Amino acid sequence: MTTERQVVLITGAARGIGAAIAERFIDDGFDVVLNYRRSQGKGAANLDNLVARAEARGVRAYKALADISESRDVEQMIKSLRLDGLERIDHLVLNAASSPFKPVLELTKHDWKQLFGTSLVGNVAVIKAVTPLMPAGGTICAISGVGSHLVLPNYPLGLMKAALENLVRYLEVELYDRGIRVNGVCGGLVRSEMLPYLSEMWPRMIANMESCGRRWALEPEEIANVVAFLASERSSAIRGQILVATGGVGLAA
């Protein structure tokens, strides 16, 4: 089925920020492709809710099962979407990530494979698979975090987020002639299923943020709003940039 509505593919769309981004685009009238690695528990319920939300608003939501760390999965995902009649993907949001929580020097070979497989190599595989379907005017948005520039204990994912931010700049240059804009969002701590665990892992940092009297935890919808802005023509002058959306945490002493 050919659609005149714009289409957004979101990796890691079953939970947290990814699900909030999907909700925002659905509410804005986009068709969405909901990539997920496994469908069980709350993630499965979230996907069903997103599909129902799309139906209620007269748009379409495609469930797209794929472990993006596996190139065959990515290829099969795109093949299945095309067989389902999807001929174009206008916007791509790179949200999927996977990481152990331990010091860098304790990472095993398996840990490094996990880190690179999804957060960097997997995202590149998705970009390579999607951009042939992306018309001029398309956008790519990478979801980063403060670990890209702050050293957070037991958080090697920050290494991959730093690489992802640099990838944004390289891709902006390489895809410029095709009319594709590439940017990223560096979000602060977000209220999600992971926040209680992170609060236990970083008690000193959390205590310092709370003592400043500022709101230190963002809602997933706030990150989604920034992503939607970067996919719109209102952000046409923004290219190869990482927008920092932390709620101002770190500004006050």
pLDDT in tens, 127-136: 999 999 999 9
pTM of the model: 0.92
Residue 170, in any domain of the structure: yes
pLDDT of residue 250: 67
pLDDT of residue 40: 64
Q: Give residue 191's pLDDT band: very low, low, confident or very high (50, 70, 90).
A: confident
Residue 252, in any domain of the structure: no
More confident residue, 100 or 2: 100
* Residue with tokens 């046409």, as numbered in its chain: 236
Q: Which of 62, 161, 170, 197 is catalytic?
A: 161
Residue 249, in any domain of the structure: no
What's the total number of domains in the chain?
A: 1
Residue 215 has pLDDT above 80, yes or no: no
Percentage of the chain with pLDDT > 70? 94
Residue 72, in any domain of the structure: yes
Of 2-11, 89-98, 144-153, the poorest mean pLDDT is in 2-11
Residue 138, in any domain of the structure: yes
E strand or H helix that includes residue 19:
helix 16-27
Single-letter code of the amino acid located at 39: S
96, 68 contact by CB (below 8 A):
yes
Residue 253 has pLDDT above 70, yes or no: no
Judge whether 42 counts as a catalytic residue: no
Q: Which domain holds residue 113?
A: 7-244
CA–CA separation, 94 and 145 (whole Å): 12
Residue 250, in any domain of the structure: no
Q: Which structure tokens are listed for 229?
A: 């802005």
pLDDT of residue 68: 96
Judge whether 63 counts as a catalytic residue: no
Q: Which of 63, 155, 170, 197 is catalytic?
A: 155
190, 217 contact by CB (below 8 A):
yes
Single-letter code of the amino acid located at 122: G
Residue 2 has pLDDT above 60, yes or no: no
Average pLDDT, the chain: 91
In this structure, the strands spanning 91-94 and 139-145 are parallel
Residue 1, in any domain of the structure: no
CA–CA separation, 142 and 79 (whole Å): 23
pLDDT of residue 181: 99
Q: What is the CATH number of the domain that holds 219?
A: 3.40.50.720
